[in-house]
Structure 1
Amino acid sequence: MSLKKITSLTMLLSMLVMTFTGILLFITPPGRVANWSNWEILGLTKDLIANFHTTFMVLFIVATILHIFYNIKPMLSYMKNSLREFVFFTKEMIVSLIVFVLFICGTAFGFFPFSTFLDFGDKVKNSWEKQAGTAPYAHAELSSLKSFTKKIGFDLEESKIILQKNNIIFEEENSLSQIAKQNDTSPSFIYELLKKNLKNSNQTIPLTGLGKKSIEEVASTLNISVDEFILKLKELGIEAKKDDKFKNIAEQYDMSVMDILTKLGYQKE
């Protein structure tokens, strides 16, 4: 067997896996949505996809180091001029460095077309939220049933009765995630079940992850029309359009997303 061939083939296979998982991670919903709804694609959870991506990244790095070791001579030849003299900044190296720097700067500073590509990814990620829903507050799935009902204003005893009637096995000290896993469902299902059967005027609006959303998407989350939301912002002296990113608008006025929401009368749990 040739270790050199094994190295090259390992690089190829690990690159294919990383490409596959990278594409999936590009379109997966934010963690707050994935964890809340037990999101899966092709039978893979977001955490599992991320784990595959990480482990195969390590394999790819090791294989790349070995590949460089086995091919050091031809690689060094790329840095020689027509007189076979070693020159680090060959034409090819300069072009490679330009492409390298272009991708770093384009990503860091949001130049076109990098910004367009990344914005597209954000839209795809956020689109899952319409299907899966959002937790009423950050990491709600980690809260115990007792803590969860208290935070969102549900009566604990009534909640327990509803869960029992629907054959949900639980302990009030267990987290929503644990209860959901034990009953082969999602924290989102538990929440919707309680919300459907309990009437409470103090239910919270999920205010997590609004920074990456457009003004129109934020308005939808707040259950108001986009025109009404833009008008409310204007009353605060903030000019915005429906397609603007909420976080970008906040930064333009030297504020945070929560600063604006607080001024509008919303409170985060």
Structure 2
Amino acid sequence: MLSLKKITSIILLLSFLILAYTGSMLYIAPQGRVAYWAIWKFAGLTKTEYTNIHIMFSLIFLIFGILHIYYNWKAIIHYLKNKHKKLVILTPNFIIALLITLLTFLGTYYNLKPFNTVIIFSDNIKTYWEKVLGTPPISHGELLSLENFCTKFNIDLQKAESILKENEIKINSPNDTLKTIAIKNNTTPQKIYELIRNAKELSQNKTTNSTEENTPTGLGKLTLKEMSELYNINFEKAKDILKTKGFKFDDNTKIKDISIQKGMLPVDIYKMLKK
């Protein structure tokens, strides 16, 4: 005979396992701009698919969690009673559970050790993906149409289309986004860009926006050393320049935290050190 109480418990168990898995994958997944540009996948699922599944099962877990509380209300109340069977909210068990919860919340909110090490480790994994997969020339460039992308980076559209056709990349329309073209051809926006990036306009009336193209994204989450390694910047010289200008930092300080000291953006730090 079917039992909603038993079904609720089983759904909670299965939802917990799925949330644990998708949460772990999102923890190690690249930053969105990198994942979408390279169409990162793990076990056949993209970051977007992991995110959507995680959101849906969070909702399922919430709904059936409420049902679980309803069906087990007597047991929960029993946990809040003392040895004399009197209801006491602040039992030792409740206080310990509350303290652990508050400590975790506040430690994470204020970025305190050891809680911040969990976040730092995730950031380090995401930085690793940037080194392996590369970064897009512009955030969410995969959402630009081929025509707009070529215009933005001064790439000859006809030459780009010719190069793609030579490499057996089928294009229905130049108004298709790089993402759409990539998916239809079982490749990535990154690979398409690598094919067409050298198809520059030869007209003297047009100039290449090299600064915009060569300025990387996602700099804020990097440390100075990581940015130096990624973008061929002399680390020791970079430290001297920043210290001379009054910036305060250590080996673990992120570029975003360095830049805000002077009301700047991470890209401003990058441009300063690349001069």
Q: Same fold (TM over 0.5)?
A: yes
Counterpart of 1:222 in structure 2 is 231
Counterpart of 1:180 in structure 2 is 182
Letter matched to residue 190 of structure 2: S
Q: Secondary structure at the match of 1:211?
A: helix
Q: Percent identity?
A: 38
> Separation in 2 of the partners of 1:258 and 1:202?
15
1:72 aligns with 2:83: no
Letter matched to residue 232 of structure 2: N
1:202 aligns with 2:210: yes
**Contact map agreement 2:156 2:199 (CA 8 A) in 1:** no
Counterpart of 1:87 in structure 2 is 88
Q: State the 1:227 CA deviation.
A: 2.5
Q: State the 1:185 CA deviation.
A: 0.7
Counterpart of 1:153 in structure 2 is 154
Q: Secondary structure at the match of 1:127?
A: helix
> Separation in 1 of the partners of 2:242 and 2:210?
24
Which segment is superposed worse, 69-78 or 192-201? 192-201
Which segment is superposed worse, 253-262 or 98-107? 253-262
Counterpart of 2:6 in structure 1 is 5
> Separation in 1 of the partners of 2:209 and 2:74?
72
Deviations 1:210-268 (A, max 9, x none): 111111222234332323433443453324445431122223445432443455578xx
> Separation in 2 of the partners of 1:147 and 1:236?
39
Deviations 1:29-82 (A, max 9, x none): 011011000100011111111111111111111211111111111100111122
Counterpart of 2:142 in structure 1 is 141
Q: State the 1:23 CA deviation.
A: 0.5
Letter matched to residue 179 of structure 1: I
> Separation in 1 of the partners of 2:60 and 2:129?
31
> What TM-score do you get using the length of structure 2 for normalisation?
0.88
Which segment is superposed worse, 42-51 or 163-172? 163-172
> Separation in 1 of the partners of 2:237 and 2:194?
27
**Contact map agreement 2:155 2:199 (CA 8 A) in 1:** no
| Unmatched segments (≥5 aa) in structure 1 | none
**Alpha carbons of structure 1 residues 202 and 256: separation in structure 2 relative to 1, 3 Å:** closer
> Separation in 1 of the partners of 2:200 and 2:271?
27
Q: State the 1:27 CA deviation.
A: 0.2
Superposition RMSD in Å: 2.3
| Unmatched segments (≥5 aa) in structure 2 | 202-207
Letter matched to residue 114 of structure 1: F
**Alpha carbons of structure 1 residues 113 and 38: separation in structure 2 relative to 1, 3 Å:** same
Counterpart of 1:191 in structure 2 is 193
**Alpha carbons of structure 1 residues 196 and 217: separation in structure 2 relative to 1, 3 Å:** farther
Letter matched to residue 11 of structure 2: T
Which segment is superposed worse, 236-245 or 136-145? 236-245
Deviations 1:147-202 (A, max 9, x none): 21222232333322222222222222221111111211100000111236669792
**Alpha carbons of structure 1 residues 240 and 152: separation in structure 2 relative to 1, 3 Å:** farther
Deviations 1:75-119 (A, max 9, x none): 001111222111111111111111111111011101111111110
**Alpha carbons of structure 1 residues 110 and 179: separation in structure 2 relative to 1, 3 Å:** same
Counterpart of 2:256 in structure 1 is 247
Q: State the 1:128 CA deviation.
A: 0.9
> Separation in 2 of the partners of 1:152 and 1:242?
35
**Alpha carbons of structure 1 residues 69 and 32: separation in structure 2 relative to 1, 3 Å:** same
**Contact map agreement 2:146 2:176 (CA 8 A) in 1:** yes
> Separation in 2 of the partners of 1:152 and 1:90?
65
Letter matched to residue 97 of structure 2: S
Letter matched to residue 188 of structure 1: Q
Which segment is superposed worse, 33-42 or 90-99? 90-99
1:58 aligns with 2:59: yes
Counterpart of 1:213 in structure 2 is 222
Q: Secondary structure at the match of 1:81?
A: coil
> What TM-score do you get using the length of structure 1 for normalisation?
0.90
Moved over 6 A (4+): none
